[in-house]
A and B are shown apart, each in its own frame.
Chain A
Amino acid sequence: MTASTETQSKDLIDNLRVGIYRITPGIKSHFLFVNPAFAEIFGLKLKDVFKKKTADFFESIRQWRLLNDKILRQGNIKNEEVISRKKDGTAIWCSLTVTAVKDKQGRVKWFDGLLEDISTHKQVERELLESKELFRLVFDNSAVAITVTDKYEKIIAWNPFAERLLEMDKEDLFNKSVKELYPPQEWRRIRSFRIRRKGFLTNIETKIIKKDGSFLEVNMSISVLKDVQGNVTGAIGILRDITSEKIAERKLKESENKTRVILDNSAAAITLTDKDERIVSWNRFTEQLLGMKKPDLYMKPVSSLYPPEEWKKIRAENIRKLGSKQHLETKAIKKNGQVIDIDLSINILKDTQNNIIGSVGIMQDITEYKKARQMLLEAKVAAEEANSAKSQFLANMSHEVRTPMNAIVGMIDMTLDTSLDAEQKDNLNTAKEAAENLLNLINDILDLSKVEAGKITLEEIDISVGNVIKSICKGLSVLARNKNLDLLWSVEDKVPYLVIGDPVRLRQIIINLVNNAIKFTSQGKVEVKVKALSVNHENCELLLSVTDTGIGISREKQATVFEVFTQADESITRRYGGTGLGLAISKRLVEMMGGRIGVESEINKGSTFFFTANFKIKQKNAPVLTPIELDDRKRLAPIALDISKTEVPVSSTNVLPSLSGPQLRVLLAEDNLINQKIAVKIIEKKGWLIKVVENGQQAVEIIDKEPFDVILMDIQMPVLDGFKATQVIRVQEKQNRKHIPIIAMTAHAMEGDEKKCLDAGMDGYVSKPIDRAKLFEIIDHLTKKGT
């Protein structure tokens, strides 16, 4: 070796970027030579290397021993990879190539080695491995099907999910032409996308064929693989099963279609607006109703559908704040400018954050409805006016209508009392019956008219409900007797003796019910009962019922018997007569008394009509009137009546006939025309007959010629005053006549007046101005007294 060669060798060794070293063999090996690169690799200074043992560069002595033995055994190692550590402790991968150098005797003199830092390689190698592994993991575990095709469009690789999705295995897939996966039409469509030129295509919705031939809806993305020169080498396809999404989508669409159908076929205009109140959607009827088309509606402000003043009203409803408004009556403008009446409902739409996103408006055309309503309203007003005018007229006519009727009945009566032959009598009786029927009808119609015209006010005077019933039963016992019926009544002990109410109206109701009961019953009995539903210190509610054993009323007819001009059966009108107004009047009167009226009935078993009425209670149970006891009148036989007893039969055989109904004949002796007229009015209103004379003398004379049930006597009269006339009448009665009750009517309002009247032989006393209720009460009392 020349010197220059030696120099060159040394330069080479010093400059090489690999570590070169010579060490002694064995466990206690140490360095004989290292080049600068070696020290550098470990971050050491050259001289420091020599202070270390070879084993120091290994993780453990054992590791070095194994390597040492391997070199001795094999004579060399090549590219042995070992982990060592730098001065700062960092691990480095080293590649060792070592040769054992021997002397002539074959003993190993030293090891010559070459060391290379391969840490960077190692890192790259590991990362590559890891990324491959990651890719494999992704590929194998993806829930999408991945297929790789070669440039001939044959499948060369796929992931497990592809097998699952297509239900195919290795044999089915490997080398399969990818076009066979698609229905021909789909494949042509995919081809038309020219994927090769673009390089990729995403989100194609298509169908693929599974192994069993069925189709699968998929979403597909394709990436084309190219080599460095840009030649296509294959493609990767990613397929996602969207069958369930498609089904959901179809269902949604179907439901949207249904909604659409409903919206389009609803007879209301439905519009949807966005948050800026512009119309974004509407149904077919909207176009129909408003005569508009898309250009008139789409993105137009919703306010354009309404007249400005109506829009102001709609805005004033503050619907955005309230959230909704139903049935707003407003107006809309059609395209042709016509304004129509509509019913508008608005609902505000909000998102989940409660922000307003728009509104739904529903409008219905109510033009016709409003017209009809207006017409109905007008018709109703007209009908009410007509009815009210009729009632008003009838109510005002009452006097004029009733007076001649009373005269007719009275005259017939008087004529009947004269001597007549049988035929005349018969004719007159027929005429009387007809006249009485007519009078009843007139009375009922007038009564109903008065109720309807609001002209009836209820009296508030003391009445004994028991006495009212007693007197009614006595009065009607004639009718009951004629039909061989028992007429019974009972008053529950709890019922207060005196209450405050309107005796005339109460009588009217009960008489009507009892009359009906007798009329519609051919055998058995009629029972009147009074019960107290509730009683306290001030008020009571009474239940009055009339039960018969008559023909009964069918369930359907029960609903209408209280209506005007309705009897249970039209044939009944013919057979039983009657005006058909009695129950209608009774119903209204009961309602005025704060009660209700009803009926329970069974065909052929009988009916119970009942009503409730509210009364105030008289605080002191003292009767207001103290009429004079009078002798039993001959025309009414005495029978024991005690309202405290219950179930007292009024046997019709105990009552004598000749009292044809409760109609009384009244004589009025009064000189003042005004007082006459008022008294006549009051008595005729009651349906009684009244005869007027102007002084006491005329009164004395007329009772000789005509029968009267009661005399109303003014005190101060010309010719013969009331006191004197009474005295004359009483004297005459003692000789040849029955006792007629005489009631004084006087404006004497002084104490002792009453006593003076009674002393003169009068039976009762009322003061002027006439108090109607008091007058009737005392007449009632006196004419029923002692019977």
Chain B
Amino acid sequence: MAKTPPRQKMPEQDPNIRRDNFEEVALGFTEEMAKKEAERCLQCAEPKCVNGCPVNIDIPKFIKLIKENDYLEAIRSIKEYNILPAICGRVCPQGIQCEKECVLSKKWEPVAIGALERFLADWELKNQLKECPDCEAPNNIKVAVIGSGPAGLTCAADLAKYGFEVTIFEAFHTGGGVLVYGIPEFRLPKDIVENEIDTLKLLGVKTEYNMIIGKILTINDLKNMGFMAIFIGVGAGVPLIPKIPGLNLNGVLTANEFLTRTNLMKAYKFPEYDTPIKIGEVVIVIGGGNTALDSARVALRLGAEKVIIAYRRSEAEMPARKEEYHHAVEEGIEFKFLTNPVKILGDKDSNVKEIEFIKMELGEYDESGRRRPIPIENSEFKIKCDTLILAIGTLANPILIKSLPEIKLNKRGYIQLDENGMTNIEGIFAGGDIVSGSATVISAMGAGRKAAKAINRYIKSKIH
């Protein structure tokens, strides 16, 4: 292989400026950059990159179309596989998916597939060229989708394309799931999410907000309302809370509460918006995933003087997107690896004052394929702080599952599917984080798409 030109680097807001605002960090390729980057693709006959993408976008095809200046065909081709390209281009962990498999990554840097995908989606938005994807003729059969995260949105879109009459029921007052309440504005602007959701309107999908299924309507109610199949995509948002002394002190909060207040309820615009958030001078975040990084970077933008992320494993095991890790470092977030909290100490008014940590070392490999962290005796030390944010993981959302005691769950409490993608209850399908446990946007979308296919098959088999 001849040496390829270097990968285009996406322009970004200066770290010193962006650490004080909620505007988008990564600014996207210019047309010229997109062209240059597209030229780097070798148009492999057996493109490995496609296997790395959970929805198998025809990557060489859309890149070739960029080279040929046919942006409209390029975005059309992406949308055959992925209805949320502006989102995936921004938040997919490309480094462990499509770009990891790109042949160039063996010797050089992989093609910036995510950035090219984003370029096309942003181009479409800027030129207002959004079109309604092709659909089969309406068949007047009703299907319900519960939850409007990436799994639900994708499933709904595909079902609409099959001709079904689709209604999404969402607990919150707005759609997007984690895309709106979890991932912050500076990484994924909310008008981008809204715009992608608008595609569903074009497809005729109805959305009912403020509808907590299991409470206001049960699955049985939905069946009685004539929904022939139901997709459950309610996500996994229940925060894990480590059992350490001092948890109930004021100033200790879960990343979910912190991010929901800031992103969904816009506490970063308090007092223009009514929802408050308290931050203080020093903020410590526990965890090493996207949620931990997002919390830390939000805290910085809310005015914290110092933000520290403490993670019990080492840099190599961090599950967060690599790019965001670099962004966080550039913004001045401090990382303490192999560090685990043991105790939270408070002042006389029961506010957090200090965290006691213990140093860890890596031992044997565990079931997750990573080396297990073990505490080093007598290595305790303390750090003073005003806020402690817990981002150590999540569990299955409870309300719907509780209202459906007959549904089969796996050992970890997530919904179990059969080989056809159906739950043990006939006509009820599921996908996304509620099946897999917390994963990624694109894997949730892949699951939604698979479920739509299964639902189509199921219904067609029933009516023929």
A-B interaction? no
